[in-house]
Structure 1
Amino acid sequence: MSYTGALNPASDSYESRPHYYIGQHDSDRWEALDEDQYTQVLNSGFNFVTAPITNQHFFQRVVDLHKNFLKEQEQWSQELTPGQRTNPSMPTPIVPTLSNEDTSIYPSQHIGSLIIYSSPWIDLCSPDKHIASISRQVLNLEVAYANFCGARSVVIPGPRSDEDAAGVRQYARAIQEALQVVTRANLIIHMPMYREPGLEEKAETISSIFGRDPEGEPKNDIDLYTSWDSWHTIRSVCEYSSRVFLALRIPRRVPEKALQERWFAEPLHFLTIGQSVFQQNRAGHPSLSKHHQDLINRYMRLKNAPWMILNDVGPQDLDTTPNVKAIEYPSLSEAASKALKKENRRPHSQGINEYVGYMKYLERQQPPYSAMETPALTSFQDWLQSPLQPLADNLESATYEVFEGDPVKYDQYETAITEAMAEWKVLKKPSALGTESEPYNPELICAVAGAGRGPLVARVLRAAQTTNTKIQLWAVEKNQNAFVYLLNRNKREWNNQVTLVKTDMRGWEGPRPKGFDNKISGVDILVTELLGSFGDNELSPECLDGIQRHLFRPSGISIPLSYTAHLSPIATPRLFAEIASRAATGDANAFEIPYVVRLFQLDFAAQKVPGHPRFQQAWEFVHPVPILRADTFAEEKGLAVKYVTEGGGSMYGSSGTNEHNARHCHLTFVCPTRGVIHGLAGYFESVLYASQLPDSDKEPVEISILPDQIDKKSKDMISWFPIFFPLKKPLMFPQDTEMEVSMWRQTDDTKVWYEWMVEVYAWVGPKTRIKINASEMHSSRKVACLM
């Protein structure tokens, strides 16, 4: 069992759909709106507006500065020798600080209600070093002033082109510097989803004014991933800063699903939609295609859902007279509240912008939240938790209560127990209470190991009642606090028909059936819920090794019967940034811990191809194990020295009694598009019970958290989140590569840990491939799970 912290969906109340926050941006706006203009925009249905940091006065001042500099250069060229003119220490233009004539925003308590835009005319990527320097200076002046005023976010136009890799690096370096200039404001880079012809930035730049735009021929083929490449360079140079976000421009033509998912994994703050993206419906009103609607619906499912900015869609009749007073805008929450109240009081047709009206219509048409999207579950999206150590620690009652809030898991367990009891009768299998002359006895010995607060005990009793099976039931629990709860529940609910045993299951001596002269007997059906997010990561194999010796042989049944671990390489920038932050603040093992996390904002690197599925099985455990080295060791040297360390085993100095639970896998994934991964996503599946009837075609009773199997095998099960094995450094890979994952489950008879690494290979010939990238070897040995 793995702690998820989630609540029972049925007991939680929540809104039926995500809410849209819609902003208005005018690309021709040079001045912040005054209060009357702002009110007019809000009354048309928008929740917030954008504001430029500087105005035309500042723009003209910078243009004049560069013009004068060019004139100075001409004068120098006549007065200086060639050697002097090429001196790298010659003066460059310096942009003076802002004046009150350069801006229309000022500090106020409501500055946070504005989304601040930096100037679109700067060119941080310019190959002209002077223009690039001027652009960097302007950016620093603007973000510094916006930060001084109290702005929360500054939107910065991204690179105009991805072809100039040096220019993109130059841009990324400028953003990194701007991060050091501002102390609290977020920097939001405005990037297109891909370079769609006809949807390029239209704003004039300082480079184009002075004829410094790089010349390039239009390409016939569009590389969909160049824009993401530029973004990845920017955020990598900024070391995945938690203050760098993304404003994603939605294209007219929605790209392939793989690219949509790539951007979905990134730190989205805004979705921007231009007027040209909208189509006209039959009535002549704006609308979006079904593909656009699906994309927006998908992105709005994020815990921190992006806000939307509609570009150049009106209202058109604003009085744009410059206003330089301190503007008292309402806060975003106040603005949204007022807009919603007005919306509820009057029909959309009265003054509501038609684009906003359509977006509000889409908001109402979204698929409602599912049982897996309660606020409690949503709050756990991409939230890192260290796996439980159930053998080393005693869980609290609240943790047990969380487990018990998942009916799907316990319904599947009850179905498995019911089928096992029913088939036992049909097959008349030898029973623990049988005799040599009559091996079958209809009364069964059942045990729940790791009973906790007793949810599985209750399900065993119900299964026995359903199948009309007489049973003797033992419940074994090591947690002395939970044991008190079991005692009370046995008296209050179960009429003392359960025999309770307070001990570690590995030290239990076995059941002593009533009426059998206090003799230790075997167990016919053993039920446990020891599974973790990776199946074996909470030491289910080791626990069952210690108690399965009590299973009646050869017919005793273990529920679960088996479980498999599965892996897939993923990109998850958010988790990488969080783990990197922990490592930077002193957690030396931050990248060596497998984390339990509800993976949501991620991109799967691998694609499903014949022979290489997206999710691949790492290994399997099957119970019971017919022969155990620990049992042989104990017989030879006595139970008291069962875990004496001698010999080799998997680690020097260990006895090797747990060697059979060590595992290793080597998996190959195919990656058709280039990208980056930040770690491995781990999942598990378990067969609780498989029919033992001859020639039975019944499906086994299973549970699964595999994304492509959970709806089929255990829909809406919330007891387990996936596990995440991080990489210390993001691992880049080109298109059409093979990614090889190696993982080990290691043990020294006292603890269990994992080791993992990833390698990238590219084919350079029909029979030749080379390794082009690889991660470090990672190991969780220092934070191992104690046996």
Structure 2
Amino acid sequence: MAGPEDPPTILFVGQHETQRTEAVTPELLYRAQNSGYDLLTAPITTSAFQSRVLETLQEYVKMLNASSEQKDVPLPLLNPLSPEDTNLVPLDSNSSLIAVTSPWIDLASHDPLIAHVSRQVFNLEVAYAAFVGINNILIHGPISSSGTMQYARTLLEGLGMGPYISINVLLPMSGELEQDISADGIHLSELTRPEYAEEVEDVEEGEGETEVYDAWETWNTIRTVCNYSTKLSIALELPRQLPAVNLQSRWYSEPIRLLPLPRTSFWRNGKGFPVLSKQHQQYLTQFLRLRFPPWVLLSDVGAVPSLSNEAAARASSEPTPAEAAADSNEQPLDLIQHLKYMRHLQQSQPTRPPIERFGQGYQDYMQSPLQPLTDNLESITYEVFEKDPVKYEWYERAIALALKDLREKLGEQRKVVVAVVGAGRGPLVTRALQASRSTGIGIQCYAVEKNPNAHVLLQHRNATDPLWNKQVTVVKSDMRTWSGPPTMGGKSGKVDILVSELLGSFADNELSPECLDGVQHVLDPNHGINIPQSYSAHLTPIASPKLHGDLLGRASTDLNMTMAEKWELPYVVMLHQFDYLSTVQPSAEDPRTPVVQEAWSFWHPISTNILDLAKSRADGHIDAGGHLGGDGTNEHNSRSCKVTFRCAHRGVCHGIGGYFETVLYSSPTSGQKIELSTNPVTMADKSKDMISWFPIFFPLKTPIYVPDDAEMEVSMWRQTDDRKAWYEWIVDVYIRMGSRRMKLGGSDLHSCRRNGCLM
């Protein structure tokens, strides 16, 4: 069950009838909403309109047969809609309707006559739905996969028929739709002339099964032609038997607006009440945790109760499924028993994990990474990260472990000198003091912070916080220019433990290596301990149509940045509606584990030989400029990698997901290791429920199609010109043909050099 801190589960449920006989009037909508439904579907046109279209086709065929020159006979034109053709009129209540285009048209037909008439029907219906104020339109997917391009081109035109129109394409997860999509009368595909009929190839027994990814391939073509329009979504029918987890995950990453649930998707429990399988419930829970969950459409599960049964229907959301089953003999409740079950699921959703509760509202919201070295952060920014229930507890453990190891080396003669560099509002200072108290080992604590506003708060805390008790030395300085603790004789002393939290979502993207290099001179060269001791960047290719679509529609707010440069930036984002393209062999316990590979690592303290060489280059003692400009002072912090991922199932790569792992402290005495991780493979073992960092996303300007059993090669560089650091990335796709490895495609080289992190 959801906990008290969980936001309420939002679930809009609509009622859909594939062959609705009752006109959708305000009175019908009133009855539906009083029964517990939020939405209704409404056919845009009536059976009279279908009859008129068929008559027009018949007249055209007669003209063709009577003409000696068929090329002189123009294609038929449909007259505008008449009052007999539609029951819809402009009403305020239309905002609660989903308009359904005629299911008997065939936009993908190879017959130019059928395609021409179908396009006219579609255009007339969409234009009229927009006119009467219905924004959401449901259209059946293409009948023929070979005509998908033509179908998509028609939808592209339809999207421009109104500024608020949203089109939802009804598609099966795999195979064919389970609900009946036909209507009274003839489907236009049945009228295809023989010369335009598709040839069906002979297949051997067992080879004629529908390919499970066919529906997804159809959708991928449609949304690509429509340029990832945010006005185009999917109405994904959930079948009685869900497909393999990899296909479920692929669909989950797509922009699904509607989830039609036909009657056949439900099972009957022991008391005869309709229920969903455990797999369906778990899949639905994933969707309900999205920032904007899709609407559920109960399809052909029962008519809307009449007004005489309104009172019984209004109470329908209260009983449990078991109570509803006991009352199932009463006709009013029979009509909405599926709805009652959905409301029960809405109220009984499991508790969200801490990262989701913390990030509510930030799902798939792209933000530029922080630059705390360049910018002075606001107090609220510090406060958000200080709410992490794991990170600071792990830091305290690491400091306590380091104190115990140093006590054995230093003895009882003096206090251990601990410096927190980049102290912010002081959470690590507090943890260092608590570690000192818990271990009984005295420390001399320094808090170094360059932000003048945070420096004021640190002084205030030192004067008023009982734990600090005026024993912390607060220093206003950039850590790289701090001379270190003073000693007798005016000389600078050394620090025994240097603590920092400079890591970004990709570990090094907030210039932790450069900052710690600059402050290493204050660390005791013999026994000094850096916390963290090391960190590594990790990556994996992902499919995220949502992020790609958001970037397409995003206008640059930086006057110094061109529109093209939005593709040249990494973004910090709480990845949610996405899919991994490379996964390990699934198991019952772990059906969807990504392959995440290491890009590079950093260690602290680094060799003094490296720092001495960097200083010599900076002083001009070595006549060797940097390969990217400057004098090469920071070239030792450049990195590069080339990693290969095998992708068993087809998909589209929209970018690279980035994570990190860090060793805060590894004790040589006890062998104990304190680690943090955002890597989805290791996070649960190393730092479960940590919320301080979201992943990083490196976008691709042009998505790359990845076929089955392909290899993706990701090349990435961390570059520097001594003034700033930036990333460059490129993705290539290969497939093996026997002993040959053939390249199928690749991205442009992306570089955020112009907007790199300033040092």
TM-score (norm 2): 0.91
Conserved? CA contact 1:31–1:51, under 8 Å = no
Which residue does 1:448 correspond to in 2? 420
- 2:641 corresponds to which letter in structure 1? C
Which residue does 2:552 correspond to in 1? 580
Decide which of 718, 733, 754 is 1:782's aligned counterpart. Answer: 754
Decide which of 358, 364, 368 is 1:382's aligned counterpart. Answer: 364
- Taking the TM superposition and a 5 Å limit, the aligned residue runs for 1:529-548 are 529-548=501-520
Which residue does 2:437 correspond to in 1? 465
In structure 2, distance between residues paired with 1:584 and 1:132: 40
Q: Which has the higher contact order (CA 8 A, sep 6+)?
A: 1
In structure 2, distance between residues paired with 1:407 and 1:378: 16
| Structure 1 stretch displaced more, 617-626 or 705-714 | 705-714
In structure 2, distance between residues paired with 1:416 and 1:662: 28
Deviations 1:467-488 (A, max 9, x none): 1111111111111111111111
Q: CA deviation at 1:221?
A: 2.9
Decide which of 140, 147, 150 is 1:170's aligned counterpart. Answer: 150
Decide which of 130, 146, 151 is 2:129's aligned counterpart. Answer: 146
Matched residue SS, 1:183: coil
- 1:683 corresponds to which letter in structure 2? Y
| Structure 1 stretch displaced more, 119-128 or 213-222 | 213-222
In structure 2, distance between residues paired with 1:488 and 1:387: 29
**Could you say if the C-alpha distance between residues 196 and 442 of structure 1 is closer, same or farther in structure 2, counting changes exceeding 3 Å?**
farther
In structure 2, distance between residues paired with 1:368 and 1:272: 25
Deviations 1:455-502 (A, max 9, x none): 111111111111111111111111111111111111111222111111
Matched residue SS, 1:245: strand
RMSD over aligned Cα, in angstroms?
2.6
- Taking the TM superposition and a 5 Å limit, the aligned residue runs for 1:177-192 are 177-192=157-172
In structure 1, distance between residues paired with 2:350 and 2:191: 48
**Could you say if the C-alpha distance between residues 476 and 197 of structure 1 is closer, same or farther in structure 2, counting changes exceeding 3 Å?**
closer
Decide which of 94, 101, 123 is 2:106's aligned counterpart. Answer: 123
Q: CA deviation at 1:278?
A: 1.6
In structure 2, distance between residues paired with 1:584 and 1:692: 50
In structure 2, distance between residues paired with 1:455 and 1:151: 53
| Structure 1 stretch displaced more, 282-291 or 218-227 | 218-227
Q: CA deviation at 1:366?
A: 2.6
Conserved? CA contact 2:445–2:471, under 8 Å = yes
Q: CA deviation at 1:691?
A: 1.2
**Could you say if the C-alpha distance between residues 288 and 345 of structure 1 is closer, same or farther in structure 2, counting changes exceeding 3 Å?**
closer
Which residue does 1:299 correspond to in 2? 287
**Could you say if the C-alpha distance between residues 547 and 268 of structure 1 is closer, same or farther in structure 2, counting changes exceeding 3 Å?**
same
| Structure 1 stretch displaced more, 211-220 or 560-569 | 211-220
In structure 2, distance between residues paired with 1:643 and 1:30: 86
Q: Does 1:111 align with 2:88?
A: no
Conserved? CA contact 2:402–2:665, under 8 Å = yes
In structure 2, distance between residues paired with 1:683 and 1:340: 49
Q: CA deviation at 1:582?
A: 2.4
In structure 2, distance between residues paired with 1:131 and 1:645: 77
Conserved? CA contact 1:44–1:315, under 8 Å = no
Q: Does 1:287 align with 2:275?
A: yes
- 1:237 corresponds to which letter in structure 2? V
Q: CA deviation at 1:286?
A: 1.7
Which residue does 1:654 correspond to in 2? 630
Conserved? CA contact 2:572–2:696, under 8 Å = yes
- Taking the TM superposition and a 5 Å limit, the aligned residue runs for 1:200-599 are 201-203=181-183, 204-209=186-191, 214=198, 216=200, 220-315=208-303, 343-344=317-318, 348=324, 349=327, 351-352=332-333, 353-374=336-357, 377-425=359-407, 428-430=408-410, 441-493=413-465, 494-513=468-487, 516-582=488-554, 587-599=563-575
Which residue does 2:696 correspond to in 1? 723
Conserved? CA contact 1:472–1:498, under 8 Å = yes
Deviations 1:204-259 (A, max 9, x none): 52121566764647853331111001101111111001111111011121101111
In structure 2, distance between residues paired with 1:633 and 1:764: 47
Conserved? CA contact 1:682–1:725, under 8 Å = yes
Conserved? CA contact 2:32–2:304, under 8 Å = no
Which residue does 1:324 correspond to in 2? none
Which residue does 1:624 correspond to in 2? 605
In structure 1, distance between residues paired with 2:315 and 2:239: 32
Matched residue SS, 2:67: helix
**Could you say if the C-alpha distance between residues 557 and 62 of structure 1 is closer, same or farther in structure 2, counting changes exceeding 3 Å?**
same
Matched residue SS, 1:429: helix
Conserved? CA contact 2:647–2:709, under 8 Å = yes
Structure 2: tracts of 5 or more residues without a match:
587-592
Conserved? CA contact 2:254–2:546, under 8 Å = yes
**Could you say if the C-alpha distance between residues 625 and 697 of structure 1 is closer, same or farther in structure 2, counting changes exceeding 3 Å?**
closer
Conserved? CA contact 2:420–2:428, under 8 Å = yes
Structure 1: tracts of 5 or more residues without a match:
1-8, 320-334, 431-438
In structure 2, distance between residues paired with 1:628 and 1:574: 47
Q: CA deviation at 1:645?
A: 10
**Could you say if the C-alpha distance between residues 620 and 609 of structure 1 is closer, same or farther in structure 2, counting changes exceeding 3 Å?**
farther
- 1:305 corresponds to which letter in structure 2? P
In structure 1, distance between residues paired with 2:368 and 2:556: 18
Q: CA deviation at 1:718?
A: 1.0
- 1:732 corresponds to which letter in structure 2? Y
In structure 1, distance between residues paired with 2:611 and 2:671: 37
Which residue does 1:741 correspond to in 2? 714
In structure 2, distance between residues paired with 1:340 and 1:758: 56
In structure 1, distance between residues paired with 2:379 and 2:602: 29
Q: CA deviation at 1:631?
A: 3.2
- Identity level (%): 45
Conserved? CA contact 1:199–1:251, under 8 Å = no
Which residue does 2:651 correspond to in 1? 675
Matched residue SS, 1:463: helix
In structure 2, distance between residues paired with 1:630 and 1:339: 76
| Structure 1 stretch displaced more, 191-200 or 54-63 | 191-200
Conserved? CA contact 2:111–2:193, under 8 Å = no
TM-score (norm 1): 0.88
Q: CA deviation at 1:130?
A: 1.2
Deviations 1:622-645 (A, max 9, x none): 1100225443454x58xxx64999
Deviations 1:671-700 (A, max 9, x none): 01111010000000111011111xx443x1
Deviations 1:737-763 (A, max 9, x none): 110000000001110000000001100
Q: CA deviation at 1:560?
A: 0.3
**Could you say if the C-alpha distance between residues 121 and 744 of structure 1 is closer, same or farther in structure 2, counting changes exceeding 3 Å?**
same
- 2:171 corresponds to which letter in structure 1? M
- Taking the TM superposition and a 5 Å limit, the aligned residue runs for 1:30-109 are 32-77=23-68, 80=69, 85-86=70-71, 90-109=73-92
In structure 2, distance between residues paired with 1:644 and 1:454: 40
